[in-house]
Amino acid sequence: MTPLEVAQDAILHALKPLPTESVALDEACGRITACDIHAPTDLPSFDSSAFDGYAVRADDTISASQESPATLDLLGSIMAGDAPDLVVTPGCGARIFTGAVLPAGADAIVMQEDARIDAQARLVVTEPVTPWEGVRLAGGDVRRGATLIGAGERIKPTHIGLLAAAGIASLQVHRRPRLTFLSTGDELTEPGIALAPGRIYDSNRPLLHALASREGIPVWHSKRIPDQIELVMAALHEAMRDAEVIITTGGVSVGEADFVKPAISALGGSVEVWRLAMKPGKPFAWGRLQNTCWFGLPGNPVSAFVSWWLLVRPALRHLMGMKKPFGRRLLSRLAEPATNPGDRRHFLRVHLDDQGLTHISGSQASHIQHGLAGANALLDLPPGADWPAGREVFVESLDLD
């Protein structure tokens, strides 16, 4: 059987990130940066006031106190957005508001609570300030030329704010792959339609569609196909004209009604079939149809999910240019014993609670979806493992990151 990491490496080495495109900033959230993005200017771009108060020279306030305040001439007022032309000379100050440009000559801001205007319209300062107190220095957040976001990173809402603050209106990102989902099986019925005897609802396509949407990847087409090789071939032929990635569920094992692999071969595609040394998700296939990449996932819904998460999701992220396509590993402790008497590593669906304890999430059979729905992580349990409660373990988070 093929180790999981061997399969992951083979897929990633065979795929190249998609070409880049320019997107507007308000459409960039969730996309993957194609190159480092550098600050075109200092942030802030000028020295400014951190709060409402008075711009002064710190030296003029050294001896200020409630009993013996410093009295300064008031030169004028500076609002946010003004370009002041006044100069604060010794013995003078200016009214200033949050975010306003620090005037020439000033090197500190007195909070308005520590000053007042007397009857002669002079500024009375009752607390001393030190040089640059209350001043937001130019470049204090980001220096010009600094990297705002590195290549291969997913753009978060907080990145959008930072890029906007730097005046960046558009940026280069990698294109997202166009996906087609095809589920195979005579037994499948669309949700919402009454079930005939022996039928089940098709849950794989809605599940995978939701997973793709969560990654920000558009699904171009989604279809259910009966177990007839002519229909499977027709659906694949139609999909490969528009999609860059086709993902099928079911039909990749060795049963008499498993027609996906023969259909791929009949269309001139390449097929790589692996018996992966993991549970669930042992039967897995992938290959190409001309310029389209194909992934063949098992039909059991939990197997399809685990195969997506560990093999397809990293490949799609790699196509989008993500530098770190795999999920995050978190340190935890087992809340209960975990055993694996089998000869394959078992990816248990688990729930990591707020105290950092990992609980096994329901039945671990590959058709049981209730436990999967309650899981927020995967625990990689090696063959022969007999781990007691309290053991430290790493789990892979099922969050987006």
Q: What is the CATH number of the domain that holds 158?
A: 3.90.105.10
How many CB atoms are located within 10 Å of the residue 229 CB? Answer: 15
**How many independent structural domains does the chain possess?**
4
Same domain, 296 and 371: no
Same domain, 266 and 180: yes
Same domain, 119 and 205: no
Query: Rounded to whole angstroms, what are the CA distances from 179 to 125, 211, 294?
Result: 67, 12, 10
Instruction: Report how far residue 311's alpha carbon sits from residue 326's, in angstroms, rounded to the nearest whole number.
Output: 9
pLDDT (mean) for 118-123: 95
Same domain, 298 and 239: yes
Token pair listed for 393: 């373990």
3-state secondary structure 26-90: HHCCCCEECCCEECCCCECCCCEECCCEEEECHHHHCCCCCCCCEEEEEEEEECCCCCCCCECCC
pLDDT for 136: 97
Q: Is it the case that residue 127 has pLDDT exceeding 90?
A: yes
Same domain, 32 and 52: no
Same domain, 371 and 275: no
- pTM comes to 0.88
pLDDT for 401: 59
- pLDDT, tens only, 270-311: 888 788 999 999 889 999 998 899 999 998 899 999 999 999
How many residues in total does the chain contain?
Answer: 401
Which residue among 319, 339, 372 closes a domain? 319
Q: Does some domain include residue 124? A: yes
Q: Does some domain include residue 72? A: yes
Instruction: Report how far residue 170's alpha carbon sits from residue 160's, in angstroms, rounded to the nearest whole number.
Output: 10
Q: Does some domain include residue 183? A: yes
Q: Does some domain include residue 350? A: yes
Which residue among 290, 319, 348 closes a domain? 319
- The most confident of the ranges 20-29, 198-207, 210-219, 251-260 is 20-29
Provide the pLDDT confidence category of residue 256 given band limits of 50, 70 and 90: low
How many CB atoms are located within 10 Å of the residue 241 CB? Answer: 11
Instruction: Report how far residue 392's alpha carbon sits from residue 401's, in angstroms, rounded to the nearest whole number.
Output: 22
Same domain, 195 and 288: yes
Residues 6+ apart with CB under 8 A from 21: 172, 173, 174, 175
Q: Does some domain include residue 380? A: yes
Which segments within 97-138 are labelled E, that is strand? 108-111, 115-117, 123-125, 135-136
Instruction: Report how far residue 386's alpha carbon sits from residue 78's, in angstroms, rounded to the nearest whole number.
Output: 71
Residues 347, 278 contacting (CB under 8 angstroms): yes
Q: Is it the case that residue 246 has pLDDT exceeding 80?
A: yes
Q: Under the phi-then-psi rule, with left for phi > 0, alpha for psi from -120 to 50, and beta for the rest, what region is 132? A: left
Token pair listed for 315: 């490949």
Q: Does some domain include residue 144? A: no
Q: Which domain holds residue 92?
A: 48-136
Provide the pLDDT confidence category of residue 254 given band limits of 50, 70 and 90: low
pLDDT (mean) for 215-223: 90
pLDDT for 260: 86
Provide the pLDDT confidence category of residue 251 given band limits of 50, 70 and 90: confident
Which segments within 257-401 are labelled E, that is strand? 270-275, 278-279, 283-289, 292-297, 329-334, 338-339, 345-352, 357-360, 377-381, 386-387, 392-397
Same domain, 163 and 26: yes
- pLDDT, tens only, 312-349: 999 999 999 999 999 999 999 999 999 999 999 999 99
Residues 181, 221 contacting (CB under 8 angstroms): yes
Same domain, 101 and 164: no
Residue 339, domain CATH: 2.40.340.10
Query: Rounded to whole angstroms, what are the CA distances from 82 to 35, 79, 103, 105?
Result: 36, 6, 10, 16
Provide the pLDDT confidence category of residue 37 given band limits of 50, 70 and 90: very high
pLDDT (mean) for 63-86: 95
Residues 94, 40 contacting (CB under 8 angstroms): no
Residues 6+ apart with CB under 8 A from 9: none
Residue 243, domain CATH: 3.40.980.10
Kindly state the percentage of the chain with pLDDT values over 90. 83
Same domain, 165 and 181: no
Same domain, 33 and 94: no
Same domain, 246 and 378: no
Residues 245, 179 contacting (CB under 8 angstroms): yes
pLDDT (mean) for 354-381: 92
How many CB atoms are located within 10 Å of the residue 343 CB? Answer: 10
Q: Does some domain include residue 296? A: yes
pLDDT (mean) for 118-141: 96
Q: Is it the case that residue 217 has pLDDT exceeding 70?
A: yes
pLDDT for 367: 83
Q: Does some domain include residue 142? A: no
pLDDT (mean) for 142-159: 97
